[in-house]
Amino acid sequence: MMAAPSRSNPAASQYHPVLRALFVRPYPAVMGVLNITPDSFSDGGRFIEPELALAQAKRMIAEGADILDIGAESTRPYGSKPVTADEELQRLRDILPAVAGLGSPVSIDTMKASVAAWALGNGAVIANDVWGLQRDPDMARVIADHGAPVIVMHNRDSVDPAIDIVADMVAFFARSLDIAANANIPQGNILLDPGIGFGKTPEQSMTALARLDDLSRFGLPLLVGASRKRFIASVTPSEPDQRLGGSIAAHLLAAQRGAKVIRAHDVAETVQALRVASAIEDKR
**CB of 52 within 8 A of CB of 88?**
no
User: Is residue 5 in some structural domain?
Assistant: no
Three-state secondary-structure class, residue 127:
strand
State the pLDDT at residue 75: 77
Annotated catalytic residues are 229, 263
User: Is residue 59 in some structural domain?
Assistant: yes
State the pLDDT at residue 240: 93
State the pLDDT at residue 11: 76
- Measure Cα distances from 252 to 165, 247, 262, 284 in Å: 21, 9, 9, 17
User: Is residue 2 in some structural domain?
Assistant: no
With a cut of 50, list the residues of the chain below it in pLDDT. 1-6, 41
Amino acid 226 reads A
User: Is residue 84 in some structural domain?
Assistant: yes
State the pLDDT at residue 82: 83
Domain assignment of residue 136, given as a range: 16-282
User: Is residue 220 in some structural domain?
Assistant: yes
State the pLDDT at residue 21: 95
User: Is residue 10 in some structural domain?
Assistant: no
User: Is residue 7 in some structural domain?
Assistant: no
Number of domains in the chain: 1
Q: Give the domain CATH number at 56.
A: 3.20.20.20
